[in-house]
Every structure is written in C-alpha cells, then in structure tokens.
C-alpha cells in the first residue's frame, strides 16, 4: 500500500489523464457514431453502404491495431496524422501526440459500437411516430432530427453507455503507447514494488471502477429522467 500512498500525486495525475482521455474520446465517439447511424438509415444508398462497411470493419478489428496504426503508421503516411502538431500543456499535464493518437484510435473504434447502439434505438422507435412525421410532410432530415433521433437517443442509453464503459476500460491500452495514464502508472509501480503487486492492482482497479460507476450512475439518471417523455 505504501507504494501507492507514497506516489499518490502520480496516481492522481494518471487518474486525471484517464478521465480527460475518456471524456474527449467519448464526445468524439458520440458525434461520429451519430453521423454513422444517420448514414446507415439514410435514403442515399452510397452512404448506407459506407456506414455498414465502416462499422463491420471497425468492429472486427482489434483496438490494438488502431493504436498501432496511429502510433507507428499514420505519421509515416501523412505527417498531419502523426499529431506532432498537438502540444497542449495545462498545468502539469501534457497532452501531446501520444494523447491525440490515443483519442483518435478510441474514437474511431468506439464510434462503431455507438452507431450500432443508436441504430437499435432507431429500430425501437414506434412506427406510428415516423408515419405521423411523414404525414405532416417532414422531409427525411426533419423526420430524423425532430422525431426519430430524439426518441432513439432515449431508448439507446443502455447500449450506448455500454459502449462508452467498454471504452473506459479500453483506454487503458493508451498506457502502453506512451500516455501517462492509470494503466501506464500501474505497470511502473508493479515493476518497482514487487512485494505490493496485489494492493497496487486493487487500487488501480478501484479507480477504473469509480469511472465506470460514474458512467452507469449518469446513465441510470438519464434513463429515469427520460422515461416520462417516452
């Protein structure tokens, strides 16, 4: 336990970095996932094909490949994708190319699961709602934006939050690629304090559980609040 207590500042900083990583990638995944879901139900066939293709490729590729691509490959193809231009320093926290690469990998991977969650929500919207929306003459964009998506967001809270929770856990992969977050610090402490490995593991596991719990409490609140409107 001393290993963690003596290094509590490192652990705290790592926690903040993990939270930042999760929040930024989460917002990205929600936005891109929503766009993909809209593509997949749109009347334009090319967009549907693109959406379906993207989702089935991204879902079946290990997340590690996304990370490897952004850390090793992307910069070689096009220096913009090396994210060397990212260099934000807030207080003692540095958000550099490693962080940006991790955000890109997590966003592109998670968005395919968000898209699937939203699509199942779209499928759960009552048929009469859509027919009514069409009957009053709304075009496709109006049907989607004003009638279907608001309801789909509500029904798809559980699957989407599930995808985001999986993303919280997946964010630990960033630690292997140079981001100084929880998993990275845990590996360091584990190597330096061989006699306290179990305690170190439990503390870091608990920190992740705190983030996961925050997500599930938030989702439960949203679900309760939105149930009335459904």
Partner 1 sequence: MSAGVLFDEPGPRTRARHLVYNVVAVLAVLAVLGFVVYRLNETGQLEYAKWEPFVTPDIVRAIGEGLLTTLKMAAVAIVAAVVLGMALGIGKLSEHRWLRWPCWLFVEFFRAVPLVLLIIFVFFGVLGSVEDFNSKAFWAVVIALTLYNGSVLAEVFRAGIQAVPRGQGEAAYAVGMRKHQVMRQVLLPQGVKLMIPSIISQCVVALKDTSLSYVVAGVGLTRVGKSIYTEFANHVPTLIVISVIYICVNLLLTALATWVQRRFVGEKKILAVGAVAGFDVTPGTAAPLTPGR
Which residues ranging from 159 to 218 are in contact with partner 1 (CB under 8 A)?
159, 161-162, 165-166, 168-173, 175-176, 182-183, 186-187, 190-191, 194, 197-198, 201, 204-205, 208-209, 212-213, 215-216
Site for partner 1 in 130-149 (CB under 8 A): 130-131, 134, 140, 143-144, 148
Please identify, using beta-carbon distances, which residue of 79 and 87 lies nearer to partner 1: 79
CA distance 152 to 130: 12
Please list the alpha-helical segments (H only) found in the chain. Answer: 2-6, 8-41, 45-60, 63-68, 74-77, 97-124, 127-135, 140-142, 149-155, 157-170, 182-192, 197-227
Return the residue of 72, 93, 146, 225 that touches partner 1, per CB under 8 A. Answer: 72
Span from 3-11, 91-99, 100-108, 124-132 in contact with partner 1 (CB under 8 A): 124-132
The CB-of-111 to partner 1 minimum distance in angstroms stands at 16
CA 45 centroid distance within chain: 27
Q: What is the DSSP letter of 135?
A: H
Site for partner 1 in 14-33 (CB under 8 A): none
Span from 6-14, 26-34, 92-100, 123-131 in contact with partner 1 (CB under 8 A): 123-131
Cβ neighbour number for residue 111 with a 10 Å cutoff: 26
Q: In a 3-state reduction of DSSP, which class is residue 90?
A: strand
Could you tell me the sign of the dihedral formed by the alpha carbons of 170, 30, 17, 70, in that order? positive
Cβ neighbour number for residue 35 with a 10 Å cutoff: 14
The CB-of-28 to partner 1 minimum distance in angstroms stands at 18
Residue 115 interacts with partner 1 (CB under 8 A): yes or no: no
The CB-of-115 to partner 1 minimum distance in angstroms stands at 13
């Amino acid at each position: 336990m001393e290993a963690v207590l003596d290094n509590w500042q490192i652990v705290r900083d790592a926690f903040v970095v993990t939270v930042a990583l999760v929040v930024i990638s989460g917002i990205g995944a929600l936005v891109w996932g929503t766009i993909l879901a809209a593509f997949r139900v749109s009347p334009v066939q090319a967009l549907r094909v693109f959406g379906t293709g993207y989702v089935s490729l991204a879902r079946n590729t290990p997340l590690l490949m996304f990370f490897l691509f952004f850390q090793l490959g992307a910069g070689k193809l096009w220096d913009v994708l090396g994210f060397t231009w990212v260099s934000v320093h807030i207080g003692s926290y540095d958000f550099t190319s490693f962080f940006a690469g991790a955000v890109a990998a997590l966003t592109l991977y998670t968005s395919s699961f968000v898209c699937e969650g939203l699509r199942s929500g779209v499928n759960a919207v009552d048929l009469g709602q859509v027919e009514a929306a069409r009957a009053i003459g709304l075009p496709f964009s109006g049907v989607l934006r004003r009638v279907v998506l608001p309801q789909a967001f509500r029904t798809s809270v559980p699957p989407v939050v599930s995808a985001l929770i999986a993303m919280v856990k997946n964010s630990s992969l960033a630690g292997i690629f140079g981001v100084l977050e929880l998993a990275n610090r845990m590996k360091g402490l584990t190597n330096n304090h061989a006699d306290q490995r179990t305690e170190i593991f439990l503390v870091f596991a608990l920190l992740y559980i705190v983030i996961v719990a925050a997500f599930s409490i938030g989702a439960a609140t949203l679900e309760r609040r939105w149930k009335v409107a459904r």
